[in-house]
């Protein structure tokens, strides 16, 4: 089970939100690069970065901050937030980002996903599905779409997407445990590689999450629980990543 620390960037700073609510923002560090270096020193093998400003505007507001992280780390970095064009994807991959996450655009412009998969490997393009009560939310979680979460996943699977990052919005940032049943149901119906996200709070959650590996859940993004030191990082990674090997295509996707 790959443990992926999350770094959310808002106004150039490293922050955490509660259920995606921009009014419930807590700043942890002024420079996201410093946070990235801390997680790397704590043995992280990959980072998940979200440009929260871009998620709202569609402009790569914090691109320079993200590029600074990528060039200072020796591990793969995946990036999401406001990535809605081929040019945006190319900009990130050209500076060494290993994987980009298509969120809102998978709903509003699915042809973009098809176009990207003609250019890039499925190991470089993943889709983020953030759902509340089984309904995907887009544009910074401010709008709902007409599909069920698993229906969107199956559409993406048909196009060639192999991995989905699945977030249970009702649990995100709440520090009350992750949505075991919602994640299991989604994974069973989607039949894809799943990176779970949202609400993992402690070692008990990790044990439950580990039970979902047979359904394709092989990794997890953790945010606030790491920032609030809910479990020793070194012990966490040692217990759940023992013997883990990253996908060769992805781990070597970064530009040297």
CATH number for the domain including 106? 3.20.20.70
In angstroms, the CA 16 to CA 58 distance is: 20
Per mean pLDDT, which range of 12-21, 22-31, 113-122, 170-179 is the poorest?
Answer: 170-179
In a domain, 206, yes or no: yes
Domain that holds residue 178: 2-243
User: How, if at all, do strands 163-168 and 125-132 pair?
Assistant: parallel
In a domain, 178, yes or no: yes
Long-range CB pairs of 154-161, under 8 A, 24+ apart, other chains included: 154/189, 154/190, 155/110, 156/106, 156/110, 156/113, 156/127, 157/190, 157/191, 157/192, 159/110, 159/113, 159/114, 159/117, 160/114, 160/117, 160/122, 161/113, 161/117, 161/122, 161/125, 161/126, 161/127, 161/192
pLDDT on residue 17: 72
pLDDT on residue 138: 79
Active site residues: 8, 130
In a domain, 31, yes or no: yes
Cα-based distances in Å from 104 to 1, 162, 254: 27, 17, 24
Number of independent structural domains in the chain: 1
In a domain, 254, yes or no: no
Per-residue pLDDT band at 169 (split at 50, 70, 90): confident
Per-residue pLDDT band at 15 (split at 50, 70, 90): confident
> What count of Cα atoms within 13 Å lies in the side-chain half-sphere of residue 227?
23
- Across 15-19, 138-142, 212-216, the highest mean pLDDT is recorded for 212-216
In angstroms, the CA 208 to CA 220 distance is: 12
| 6: its two tokens | 């999350």
Calculated CA dihedral for residues 115, 77, 32, 89, nearest 10 degrees: -10
In a domain, 251, yes or no: no
In a domain, 132, yes or no: yes
- Counting residues of the chain whose pLDDT is more than 70, the rounded percentage is 83
Paired with 131 in beta bridges are 136, 168
In a domain, 100, yes or no: yes
Those residues whose C-beta lies under 8 Å from the C-beta of residue 181, and which sit 6 or more positions away, are none
> What's the mean pLDDT in 39-52?
93
Per residue in 218-246, pLDDT (tens digit) is 999 998 888 887 776 656 666 776 555 55
In a domain, 163, yes or no: yes
Asked whether the beta carbons of 199 and 178 are under 8 A apart, the reply is yes
> What count of Cα atoms within 13 Å lies in the side-chain half-sphere of residue 74?
2
pLDDT on residue 185: 94
The shares of helix, strand and coil residues in the chain, as percent rounded to the nearest 5, are 40, 25, 35
Helices (runs of H) and strands (runs of E) counted in the chain: 12, 12
Can you give the length of the chain in residues?
A: 256
Asked whether the beta carbons of 13 and 34 are under 8 A apart, the reply is no
């Amino acid at each position: 089970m790959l443990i992926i620390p999350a770094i959310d960037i808002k106004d150039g700073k490293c922050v955490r939100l509660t259920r995606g609510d921009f009014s419930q923002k807590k700043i942890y560090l002024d420079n996201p690069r410093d946070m990235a270096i801390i997680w790397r020193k704590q043995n992280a093998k990959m980072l998940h970065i979200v440009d929260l400003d871009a998620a709202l505007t569609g402009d790569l507001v914090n691109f320079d901050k993200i590029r600074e992280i990528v060039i200072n780390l020796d591990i793969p970095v995946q990036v999401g937030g406001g990535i809605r064009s081929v040019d945006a994807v190319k900009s990130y991959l050209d500076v060494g980002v290993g994987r980009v996450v298509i969120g809102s655009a998978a709903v509003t412009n699915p042809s973009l996903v098809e176009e990207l998969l003609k250019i890039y490997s499925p190991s470089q393009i993943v889709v983020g599905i953030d759902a509340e009560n089984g309904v995907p939310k887009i544009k910074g979680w401010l709008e709902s779409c007409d599909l069920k979460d698993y229906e969107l996943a199956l559409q993406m699977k048909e196009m060639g997407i192999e991995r989905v990052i699945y977030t249970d919005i009702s649990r995100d940032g709440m520090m009350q445990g992750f949505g075991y049943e919602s994640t299991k149901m989604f994974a069973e119906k989607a039949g894809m590689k799943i990176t779970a996200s949202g609400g993992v709070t402690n070692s008990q959650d990790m044990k439950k999450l580990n039970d979902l590996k047979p359904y394709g859940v092989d990794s997890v993004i953790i945010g606030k629980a790491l920032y609030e030191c809910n479990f020793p990082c070194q012990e966490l990674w040692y217990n759940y990543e023992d013997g883990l090997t990253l996908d060769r295509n992805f781990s070597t996707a970064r530009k040297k």
